[in-house]
Amino acid sequence: MASYRTFRDFDWALLIITFVICAIGVLQIFSATLDTPWRDAWWKQVVWIAFGLVLMWGITLVDYHTLLGRVPIFYGLSLLGLVSTFVIGRRVFGSQRWIVIAGFRLQVSEFVKLVIILLIAWYLSDLRSEKLEVRDLLKLGGLVALPMVLVIRQPDLGTALTYLPVLIVGVILAGLRWQHAAVIIVTLALVLPVGYYFLRDYQKARLLSFVDPSRDPKGSGYQVIQSEIAVGSGGIWGQGVTRGTQTQLRFLPVPHTDFIFSAFAEEHGFVGVVVVLGLYFLLLMQVVQNAQMAPDRAGMYICMGVAALLLFHILVNVGMVVGRMPVTGIPLPLMSSGGSNIWSVFLMLGLVNNVRLHRFVS
Amino acid sequence: MPVLDENESERLHEIRRLHEDSKFASAKMAVFQYIAVAVFVLLIIRFWDLQVRNPGVYQEMADENRIRSVPVLAPRGKILDRDGRVIVDNHSSFTLLLNRETLKPEHLRMIAEGLDLDYDQLLSRLMKFRKRPAYEPVIIKQELTPEEVTFVESHRDPGTFPELMLIRAQRRLYPKNGLAAHAVGYVGEVSEAELDSPDFAKYQQGQIVGKDGLERQYNDSLMGVDGQRRVVVDNMGRERQVLDDKPAVPGRDLETTLDLDLQAVAELSLGDRPGAVVALDPRSGEVLAMVSRPAFDPNLFAGRIRSKDWNALLSNPQKPLLNRAIQAQLAPGSTFKPLMALAGLEAGVITDDFHVHCPGGASFYGHWYACHLKHGHGDIELHRAIEQSCDVYFYNVGYRLGIDRIAKYAELVGYGHKTGIDLPHEADGIVPSPQWAMRNYHRKWYAGETISVSIGQGAVTVTPLQLAYATGGMAMGGVWERPHLVRDPMHPVAAHKVEFNPDNVEKVISGMYGVVNEAGTGTRARLPGITVCGKTGTAQVASAGLVKAMEGSHAAADFANNAWFVGFAPREHPEIVVVALVQGGGESTVAVPVVRDVLKAYFDKKGRRFQPLPSLAGSFAPQPQPVAFLRPAALDRTR
């Protein structure tokens, strides 16, 4: 057993890219929270990253097939955890997303991401056929929809939506029939406008201000406009660390969490943006490469689930920062300040490593 | 068979799975990679758009966010009296500005309510400023009460009314009770109409400028130059850093020739009666005191006058805004006689031994012209004619001079044109002549008019300042210094000089000495040890017939005679000439004590016989203090 768990086989490239992105994130958190009540956020982030590494190492030690075998248990625990947020959860900014375990404030929905990835890998890798049957599609869809609905009820639409790309990429890889895809798309096109009326007011406002930020420049559109100004004023070379006026004078909302990339773009300019986006791209390609070299379907599904989720996060968060995506409040992986997100991303990367370490086995 | 088939397919499937696993769906994964590439390319294109294509645009928007310019209002210069005592001061107050960059129109109504402002006026005020750049804030209220300051402080956070800005400003503080109000004038916000006029074109919307009096005349030096501070603010509107600070250049203090002591005495002595007092130093033309009644409170104008107060001032039939000292054009009555006497002597139409018999009136051109003394002065010569103001004597002088020579001498001593005092809106007065009648009324001159003009009636009108100026110049022997309130050594104005025969001047002055010190009409102006000379005047404002017809009616008071007195002292080398006008005062004798009070104050002060007034600076209640020598009755009248 121990033979394949060598340091040589570890995905060092992935780890180094991850570290560089995290370091840039910590620096940006430091700069963005200077002289604010969150001024020790960068230090907390360092602690979270360190603990994330331990978690990553830990999940690498367990054979992912063992984890897949426990999916029903994880799934049950997830539902339990999500329900418990309604009972004992901490209400912050008007939504109940957190439960406190051993002094840590954990955002359950972040960890459910992992379970969704494992769930989809577990379910799809057991299929025997080349094409996905309607029955399986509905089953899997129902299994994903249940925690999604719970998360939407918290309410946290943004995080709930991150489960979808994992499912979509999974079923496409598993051989989604184009007829089924067409039916799903048509159904969604019909259902979404109706769903709009069930959105909360702030969610509607965010969507509307995404369509037209100047509608309400001091309200929902404010964040987007200020973010665009921050990004634009960064120019080619940026204003310099701790020199971005939008960030330092707090015109930019939450510059160390959801809008950290905006703060980064202001202080480091287009050059910095290209470098960091390039690092994310390399990270993503590294994960996809691991998927391609996975020893079995389950491993491939796990890696592609992680890749899909990361790509979705990057697209939605960075797109929001430049006014191309609505404000959904989902963080930028590895950079945004926040323990739960850091840990869930490190755990995902741990899973990818886990798959990689099994590729020469059997 | 089915069992075998199943096993077979199971086995085959297993083989295929193991074979394909590493390559399973590799085409789809490649598609995913292309999608990822597309996502990153699209994001980078967007960053290129924002950061590289229009580099200046967002930088400007960021600067607009954080940089705010705050005006620093320059304090106006103080207005001081000749001893450096403050007449007009400034005091610190809070001024509320509205930042139009962050203004939300729906807030206006609540702001107006919170600050007791009229919503419609606030709107129209903002409309006025629409042509000015948006980064310039608009002053919406001055002189905030502590309650209003609290309201602003508690509502200017970004969540409520971030457009509110509070600055400290210096505001004009004028003496109470309108002391020297007309000479000093007032300030106000430059109006739309004024901005279109050439005088005010150099000012900007919202600026406080002098509108009348010295405030207007010397506005440029009093005003100073406003400064500007550019500060960096955070999203809460808090100042984080000062970028640059262009300090305001305070206006220069204006040292006037007014003497606060004399001014206060003149104000108290005239009391509430409509009229005017002017005190001049004939040696220099310096104005020592200038009073006009009724007065107004210039403090009402200090910011923006309420329309209620403004309408009250405009509709007041007594016209409180009129500076009677330089703008009231009234018949001089008998105060015109010293000029007639001098003109007669200079023209040679009369001599010392020119005697006239006054039976109480005389007939000219078929009309009867009465003397003010019904039973007549009897046989009368020049000295007594001035002393007792015999009308018949001066009818004869005028008859002999003729209107052209009267007009010539009247204009020579300063009547009929502006004296050139450094105040806006000075009136010309009228010296009538046949040309004047033709020019203005297209009629010929009636010979009888000359007889009326001889005693300062008819069409001749003078301002109180002109009377003081003319009399002072004659008393100086023919030297007229331009009257002024502010010394301007840089631009000296040559004195107007006329070569009179000193004997002739002496004869007129001797008569005026008699008015006060002998059996004359102005004996109440007598001051022990001081050779006061003067001349009374009782000027009719309507013809005798009209007054008779109106007798007993309410309007009768409007036609009561104006009382004049002009006095100067000392006789030999005059230092001060004072004119008092009491409109509707009836007998000339009511004007005499006013002049006497001012003259006495002047010589008492010169002889250090009383304590001068303290400066009016810094106090909200600069009340003229009772002066020791004044009669108690005079004090009562002022309250």
Q: Does residue B294 have a cis bond before it (omega within 30 degrees)?
A: yes
A277-291 pLDDT per residue, tens? 999 999 999 999 999
B486: helix, strand or coil: strand
Distance CA A58, CA A347 (A): 9
Pair A237, A269: CB distance under 8 Å? yes
**Residue numbers of chain A with a pLDDT score lower than 70:** 1-7, 89-96, 101-104, 209-220, 360-362
Both tokens of residue B213?
Answer: 């009096």
Q: Is residue A362 part of a domain?
A: no
Spans of chain B, pLDDT less than 70: 1-9, 11-24, 158-159, 236-237, 303-305, 542-559, 615-639
Size of interface A-B (CB pairs under 8 A): 129
Q: How far apart are CA A224 and CA B190, in angstroms?
A: 42
Chain A contact present for B65, CB below 8 A:
yes
Q: Is B6 on the interface with A (CB under 8 A)?
A: no
Select from B50, B52, B68 the residue whose CB has the most chain A CBs within 10 Å, as the one to mutate to test that interface.
B50
pLDDT at position B2: 45
Q: How many CB atoms lie within 10 A of CB B536?
A: 30
- The length of chain B is 639
Helix (H, G, I), strand (E, B) or coil at B638: helix
Please name the member of A172, A228, A311 whose beta carbon is closest to the beta carbon of B28: A172
Contact (CB<8Å) B62/A172 = no
Could you give the angle at which helices A339-357 and A12-32 cross, rounded to 10 degrees? 170
DSSP readout, A131-170? Answer: S--HHHHHHHHHHHHHHHHHHHTTT-HHHHHTHHHHHHHH
In a domain, residue A274? The reply is yes
Provide the phi-psi class of B485: left if phi over 0, else alpha when psi is between -120 and 50, else beta: alpha
Is B307 an annotated catalytic residue? no
Q: Which two tokens stand for residue A21?
A: 């992105």
> Has domain B67-255 been given CATH number 3.90.1310.10?
yes
End-to-end CA distance of chain B: 131
- CB spacing of A277 vs B40 below 8 angstroms: yes
pLDDT digits (tens, 9 = 90+) for A98-128: 777 666 678 889 999 999 999 999 999 888 7
B chain contacts of residue A292, beta-carbon cutoff 8 Å: 22, 26, 29
Nearest-10 Cα torsion for B152, B156, B157, B162: 170
Beta carbons of A311 and B37 less than 8 Å apart: no
Burial of residue B529 (number of CB atoms within 10 Å: 0-12, 13-18, 19+) = exposed
Mutating which of A166, A247, A322 best tests the B interface, going by the most B Cβ atoms within 10 A? A322
Nearest CA in chain A to B19: A296
Kindly list the residues from chain A whose CB atom is less than 8 angstroms away from the CB atom of residue B25.
Answer: 173, 300
Q: What is the 3-state secondary structure (H, E, C) of B501-557?
A: CHHHHHHHHHHHHHHHHCCCCCHHHCECCECCEEEEEEECCCCHHHHHHHCCCHHHH
Q: Is B380:B356 a contact under the CB 8 Å cutoff?
A: yes
| Cα angle value A99/A100/A104 (rounded, 5°) | 125
Beta bridge partners, A106, equal A99
pLDDT in tens, A67-90: 999 999 999 999 998 988 887 766
- Chain centroid to CA B232: how far? 40
Burial class (CB within 10 angstroms; exposed 0-12, middle 13-18, buried 19+) of B552: exposed
Nearest CA in chain A to B55: A235
Distance from CA of A83 to the nearest CA of B (A): 34
**Residue length of chain A:** 362
- Looking at the partner chain, which of B24, B47, B52 has a beta carbon nearest the beta carbon of A297? B24
Contact (CB, 8 A) for B200 and B194: yes
Q: Give the residue from chain A lying closest to B62, CA to CA.
A: A229
User: Is the Cβ of B367 closer than 8 Å to some Cβ of chain A?
Assistant: no
Closest approach of chain B CAs to the CA of A328, in angstroms?
Answer: 17
The residue type found at A197 is Y
Distance CA B615, CA B85 (A): 5
Contacts of B510 (CB under 8 A, 6+ apart): B383
Contacts of A26 (CB under 8 A, 6+ apart): A42, A45, A46, A49
Q: How far apart are CA B312 and CA B294, in angstroms?
A: 13
Cβ-contact B288, B620 below 8 angstroms: no
* Strand intervals (E) in B365-478: 367-370, 378-380
Domain limits, chain B? 67-255, 260-293+325-638
Rounded CA-CA distance B499/B611 in Å is 41
Whether ipTM > 0.90 holds is yes
pTM of this prediction?
A: 0.68
pLDDT of residue B3: 47
Is A233 in contact with B24 (Cβ distance < 8 A)?
no
Task: Tell me the longest C-alpha to C-alpha distance in chain B.
Answer: 171
- Name the minimum distance, in Å, from the CA of A161 to any CA of chain B: 18
The rounded distance, in Å, linking the Cα atoms of B501 and A315 is 106
**Structural domain range at position A294:** 2-357
DSSP B252: P
**Closest-approach residue (CA) in chain B for A165:** B32
Instruction: Specify the pLDDT at position A294.
Output: 87
Measured between beta carbons, which residues in chain B are less than 8 angstroms from residue A304?
29, 32
Chain B: closest CA distance from residue A259 (Å): 15
- In the set B334, B454, B588, B615, the catalytic residue is B334
Are both B67-255 and B260-293+325-638 of the same fold?
no
CB–CB contact A251 B235 (8 Å): yes
- pLDDT of amino acid B629: 33
Which long-range contacts does B510-518 make (Cβ < 8 Å, 24+ apart)?
A: B510/B383, B511/B338, B511/B341, B511/B382, B511/B383, B511/B384, B511/B385, B511/B386, B511/B387, B512/B338, B512/B386, B512/B568, B513/B571, B514/B383, B514/B384, B514/B386, B514/B387, B515/B386, B515/B387, B515/B389, B516/B567, B518/B387
Residue A326 covered by a domain: yes
Q: Does B241 touch chain A (CB under 8 A)?
A: no
- Number of domains chain A is built from: 1
Compare CB distances from A249 to B25, B57, B66 and report the shortest one's residue.
B66
Nearest alpha-carbon partner for B295 in B198, B423, B180: B180
At the fourth CATH level, the homologous superfamily of domain B260-293+325-638 is: DD-peptidase/beta-lactamase superfamily (3.40.710.10)
DSSP annotation of B74 reads: P
Burial of A72 (0-12, 13-18, 19+ CB in 10 A): exposed
The secondary structure element, H or E, covering residue B439 is helix B434-441
Pick from B379, B293, B191, B165: nearest CA to B594: B293
- Across the interface, of B39, B46, B62, the residue whose CB is closest to A229 is B62
Sign of the torsion formed by the C-alpha atoms of B405, B408, B409 and B415: positive
